[in-house]
Amino acid sequence: MELTPASLSLRIKFCRFCCHDADWHEAKTKTDYTIWNIDEGALILEINGKRIAASAGDAILFHPGDSYSAFCNGNCCNFLVTFFTLEAGNCPDIFKQCNSAGVYSADAVRQASKRFCRAYLDACENTAASLRLYALFLSFLAELFPYLGTQDCFYAQPDKIPPQKINCLLAYIEAHIEKNIPVKELAALMGMSEKYFIQFFHAHIGYSPKQYMTSRRMEYCLGLLSDERLTVSEIAARLQFSDRYAFSKAFKKYYGEAPGAFRRHYTLH
């Protein structure tokens, strides 16, 4: 389900309350933008070598690729979990160049977070997405946006890099989209070590280099699949996969079905 007023597109993939007892502990890597709105209790996050405490009212924003461990701080902890994407205009990712991951504890954010939790419990007692849920979450995001960058960050603020240089990097990826570009090649282009470049890219773009390039290449191959003159094997070769089976495996992992089935369902009707 998507809403696109004024070139704005919001998609909620998952939203529900999670209730954990004092023994709860989890260690995961996020694959989507995720917000935890803490309703009751407190928790500890361990991420990127940091330990950060969060309590009732706080909002926690994770970027895709963030690996963390979390556990209750004392008693039970309840929070609302939302997996989502948000796009505006031609920007593929509204958080793309913002180091916004972290714990938000500003009074205004805490008040907005509590309102969202209460409104969710009143209006969305099941996990089904609804127009009401979208309105509630979008309202919370609107109150969160002015505070982006003021949070207790998961990652250190990246060095100031001219936007033109970042745009040139993304343009280079687009110009060589059919090539499986090694990360070390992009790092060299930016004059950075590979390790530092990965941290830099994640902080500025919101994804790891591999995640971003996989996403862009998978989106690009949809255009190739729409050309009925190209076989799946030819597309695999153009994208420099070892064979059509390796391409089909990567495509199915990303889209949930094989490229041939995708072509039949979406391009031949």
Query: Each residue of 128-172: pLDDT tens digit?
Result: 457 788 888 999 999 998 888 788 888 766 556 667 788 889 999
Residue with tokens 């949809």: 222
Q: Where are the domains of the chain?
A: 5-153, 163-266
| H helix count then E strand count, the chain | 9, 8
| Model confidence, pTM | 0.59
Is residue 82 pLDDT above 90, yes or no?
A: yes
Q: Is the dihedral of CA 54, 56, 61, 64 positive or negative?
A: positive
> CATH says 163-266 is which class?
mainly alpha
Task: Provide the token pair at 132.
Answer: 């009401």
Is residue 4 pLDDT above 50, yes or no?
A: no
Q: How confident is the model at residue 207 (pLDDT cuts 50, 70, 90)?
A: confident
Angle at CA of residue 93, ends 91 and 98, nearest 5°: 105
Is residue 98 pLDDT above 90, yes or no?
A: no
Percent of the chain predicted with pLDDT > 90: 47
pLDDT averaged over the chain?
85
Strands 67-88 and 59-62: unpaired
> CATH says 5-153 is which class?
mainly beta
pLDDT for position 1 = 34
